Amino acid sequence: MKNQTTVQISPPNIKTACFTIEGTAPLVIHRFSAKAKQDMVDKVIEGSKPNKRKKQHEATNTDDIYNAARYISREGWDGFNVAAIRCAVIRACSLVNFKMTLAKMSLFVEADGRDKLEPEFGLIHIYGKPRKLESIGRLPSTGAAIVIFRPIYDEWTAKLKISFDASQFSLEDVSNLLARAGAQVGIGEGRPSSKDSTGMGWGTFRIINKK
């Protein structure tokens, strides 16, 4: 009689927790504009062409730039990319020596809606009013200084639904990871964990309610 091996694989044990978060610093959003994407597509289609003379700078309405940097849902409310929270929570795993590769398969965030222009992007509803922020940045390619116009939400809250594998995490684990993500990682531009800088102190948050 051949040796028999019994394998027992438990089914996914997915739970969902609801959190309300409140900004402890302003939230700054910088969506990659549709115009910039189209310019990149045009260059791919047209190919490289010799630049005989420099293009003249086109006048641009700063309100158009500001609005292009916002995420607006189909219903008309402002939001941020749902992936921002998931990425922040997964990043926070590195602070407690938990494998981020496992967290990627165990933590998920439910979107409140879809982006009006690009519905492939899920959004979290921002409860707060935006204003136009004018700041100085630098072009990655040349380092030249440029003026940047982005939406900033000085006071904001958001409601999150986070699904998690309860075989990997407890509710308290998820709550503590989210708290670390808010205090130490952040979301949006100028966050503490920004790969492009040491951060501007923006995009941090705290949990004010959970269930």
CA dist list (Å): 80 to 71, 87, 147: 6, 13, 22
For residues 42 and 38, give the distance between their C-alpha atoms in angstroms, rounded to a whole number: 6
Q: Classify residue 141 by its DSSP letter.
A: T
- Spell out the per-residue pLDDT of the chain, length 211, in tens: 567 777 788 899 999 999 999 999 999 999 975 445 545 554 556 665 555 455 555 557 899 999 999 999 999 999 999 999 999 999 999 999 999 999 999 999 999 999 999 999 999 999 999 999 998 877 766 778 888 899 999 999 999 999 999 999 999 999 999 999 999 999 999 999 988 777 789 999 999 999 8
Q: Is residue 44 part of a domain?
A: no
* pLDDT at residue 51, as a whole number: 54
Q: Residue 52 falls within a domain, yes or no?
A: no
Question: Is 93 inside a domain boundary?
Answer: yes
- pLDDT score, position 107: 97
Instruction: Count how many domains the chain has.
Output: 1
Predicted TM-score (pTM) of the model is 0.84
Instruction: Kindly state whether residue 198 falls inside one of the protein's structural domains.
Output: yes
Bridge partners of 37? Answer: none
* Residues contacting residue 61 through CB under 8 Å, at least 6 positions apart: none
Q: Closest Cα to residue 75, out of 105, 17, 114, 18?
A: 114
d(CA 100, CA 122): 22
Range of the domain at 102: 14-30+62-210
DSSP SS3 for 64? helix
What is the distance between the terminal CA atoms of the chain, rounded to a whole angstrom?
Answer: 53
Q: Which of 83, 94, 103 is nearest to 184 (CA)?
A: 94
Q: Would 56 be classed as within a structural domain?
A: no
* Residue 57 domain-assigned (yes or no): no
Residue 180: inside a domain, yes or no? Answer: yes
Within-domain flag for 50: no
- What pLDDT, on a 0 to 100 scale, did the predictor assign at position 1? 53
Query: How many of the other CB atoms lie within 10 Å of CB of 45?
Result: 7
* d(C-alpha 211, C-alpha 92), whole Å: 21
Sign of dihedral through CA atoms 126, 131, 137, 141?
positive
Rg of the chain (C-alpha set) = 21
pLDDT value, residue 60: 72
